[in-house]
Chain A
Amino acid sequence: MLGKTANGIFWMYRSLERAENTSRLVETGQRIALTRLGDTSDEWRSILQTAGVISGYDQHYDSYAGDTVIDWLLRDLNNSSSVQSVIRNARQNARLVRTALTHDVWEATNGCYMEATKHLTRKVTERDLPNVLGLVRQRAALVRGATHGTMLRNDIYDFARLGTFIERADNTARILDVKYYVLLPSMMSVGSSIDNVQWDTILRSLSANGGFRMEYGSATSPRDIAQFLILDRRMPRSLAFCANKLRENLHYLENTHGSDKPSITMAEDLVSGPLSRPIDDIFDQGLHEFTQDTLAKIAKLSRQIEIDFRFYE
């Protein structure tokens, strides 16, 4: 396949994953805003930070009011990571790599774009917000479903998966990076209702609350949450899960592309490092250092994939 096509596929799936993650962040933020009394601007601020879009936001607004933050995250085309921007980007990439996609995947992507455009052209009212967010996630899920159901398991699929899991790992690491302090062991003894809200927020922004309850019941401890989101290989948004998928897909590419790629070594390191050790080791070394280090490793791996597979000239 063409290097350009690999690049297009990679970014198409990164963008779709980001659309889903950002809409989930908005949903979480809105939930906190509705269930909590008093000022929520700190919460919105940390959501902007998590989404990595706060510097752009600060250039346009000077306060963190819910409706402007939501608009920035959802619709604003000045924000290249807004849901509307990334869905456009996914569709643009899909057009570019149309020959690498099945008819079903292309139609699902184009349908996602058409539906999103319909609902995001005008400002979304508070009343419509849950519907619109649900719709974005549903449409992105349709693309994923069509991908699993109709795409050949060849190198094209591998690049789609690499894009998905780089983005997902990055998202999970960011959420942990922004909220690491509420998971620190020192907080364990506190256990106030505010902490419960914070823990709930982290789980919800990764669609992990249901899964966590299933595993751990109602006894929430920050250590368990960290264990679940960082190391649990059954949890599809955990760092260990994503790292493992990245390694797997790079190994599939070995069959057609040879095994001499630095990106393979990097993925191996990611999996075999702290992600293979008990959670207490991570706490001992510092949760914040760990998340920072992981974010840097993911970014480096992503750049190496671009080089190894000739995404650009």
Chain B
Amino acid sequence: MENGDILNEMWHADGSARQPYKDFQSWFEGEDLSRLRAKQREAEDIFRLTGITFNVYGRAQAEEKIIPFDIVPRILSGREWQKLSRGIEQRVRAINAFLYDIYHRQEIIRSGRVPKEMISKNAAFLPAMIGVDPPGGVYTHIVGIDLVRTGEDQFYVLEDNARTPSGVSYMLENRETMLQMFPELFARNRVQAVQNYPRDLWRSLAASAPSVSNATPTVAVLTPGIYNSAYFEHAFLADQMGVELVEGHDLRIVDGRVAMRTTRGYHPIDVLYRRVDDDFLDPLNFNPESTLGVPGIMDVYRAGGITIANAPGTGIADDKAIYSYMPEIVEFYTGEKAILENVPTWRCSDSDSLAYVLDNLNDLVVKEVHGSGGYGMLIGPTATKKDIALFRKKLQARPGNYIAQPTLSLSTVPVFTRAGLAPRHVDLRPFVLVSPNSVNITPGGLTRVALKKGSLVVNSSQGGGTKDTWVLED
């Protein structure tokens, strides 16, 4: 058995299965390992044929990889999910209220809960959005909240992804793959469905259409193109919603609307689900070098001619420096204490915190404020002396660029290895849809798993895999 401090989600310390895994355990015990090994290979074949691939940046162009898929599901009980789900909804509502406030009266700064320079000096703050009212009042139509678990009832929010969270196609395809390979498991477990996500996504986007839109709004997905690492997902979502997948060069401004070039001429778009970063969205208003966006789209947006999902400028809400203020932000806008806890965070811009962090680098995780994807990160307990020395220099040079957090004892879920089941650390990214009148959370989400023994890094670009995530009907 492993370290007793770490929660194993499948087994109690005495080796018996935890409640949500009881059926799975008894099924697994009756299975032949060689058959399961064959199934594991079959899963990879399904992923390759379906083309569920991603490109790793920095590798040879167009080299396509599949994210390793593990056949053991991550299982949550309905009760566990309910609490999470309440906490997520509260958090997402607060994030939207925060964004509205930050781009309007900035009450939260006036009240002193968040220091002014956290906003005004933040690169993720978009002055072009000041005073703009997004259609329906929604800023973050799609959110992914990264959660980790450290105990029976202890979940932490690791990160809020309020820009363009990815991974939802894996949530859906992982489920399809499991249904295809192990139908018998679904017959004996009552697993809540995730398959409605694309329809819910369309409804949610359509409900956020601008007032100029027809009764049935025209929705489109904007992708940077076929070489983007998440291109599969962009095509998948457009396909599943039955809408066009467009690139910047398919679009232009026609009669004050953003329109796509069809075989019959230009057709206006009401809602653009963009998977292109703010900076590349509009060469006239932002990065002039960008060829991925639409010149002038921000002007149409400000005039109410299109809904951009997520709204430009939402990055200010998932910035790692702002993250540390989330408990205050939730309380300020909802009047309630945050249901989901934040990981305790030292802001290195603060000199006392910096001193503490420099003294405890061996035990802490240090992250770049604007980094993502597990890059530019130091995990103290597993880092080499050289890495720690390097980060010490980086921290001293630009303290404001970093935050630090304690190393959490992430829970484990078993993965299927050649030798049978072996525990590996996991996180969870549930997906949330926000429309003017509802917040919709798909039961489950994407479980990412660090496939290397002992590793805490779950990112697919660095050896992470995924699992199907089940929420059971209680």
Contacts and interface: CB of A to CB of B under 8 A. Distances in A.
Interface of A: 1-6, 92, 95-96, 98-99, 106-107, 110-111, 114, 155, 256-257, 309-310, 313
Given A92-B226, A114-B48, A313 B262 contact: no
B51 A95 contact: yes
B49 A98 contact: no
B244 interface: yes
A257 B264 contact: yes
A3 B261 contact: yes
A107 B239 CA distance: 14
B261 A310 contact: yes
Binding site secondary structure of chain A = helix
Contacts of B250: 2-4
A95 B262 contact: no
A2 B49 contact: no
B245 interface: yes
A289 B408 CA distance: 79
B60 to A, nearest CB: 14
Contacts of A1: 244, 262-263
A107 B50 contact: yes
Given A2-B250, A2-B262, A107-B49, 9 more contacts: A1-B244, A3-B263, A4-B261, A106-B51, A107-B50, A110-B49, A111-B49, A257-B263, A310-B261
A114 B46 CA distance: 13
Contacts of B48: 114
Nearest to B265: A310
Interface of B: 48-51, 226, 231, 235-236, 238-239, 243-247, 249-250, 260-265
A309 B49 CA distance: 32
6 contacts: A95-B51, A99-B235, A99-B238, A99-B239, A114-B49, A309-B263
Contacts of A96: 226
B245 A98 contact: yes
B263 A110 contact: no
Contacts of B262: 1-3, 310
A2 B263 contact: yes
Binding site secondary structure of chain B = mixed
Given A111-B49, A114-B48, A98 B263 contact: no
B226 A155 contact: no
A99 B226 contact: no
A6 B260 CA distance: 13
B247 to A, nearest CB: 7
B245 A99 contact: yes
B263 A155 contact: yes
Closest 4 CB pairs of A and B: A98-B235, A309-B263, A99-B239, A99-B238
Contacts of A310: 261-263, 265
A259 B225 CA distance: 33
A157 to B, nearest CB: 13
A111 to B, nearest CB: 6
Contacts of B235: 95, 98-99
A2 B261 contact: yes
Nearest to A98: B235
A99 B51 contact: no
Given A2-B244, A114-B49, A313-B249, A95 B260 contact: no
A95 B238 CA distance: 13
B158 to A, nearest CB: 32
Nearest to A6: B263
Which of B231, B239, B263, B265 has the most chain A CB within a 10 Å cutoff?
A: B263
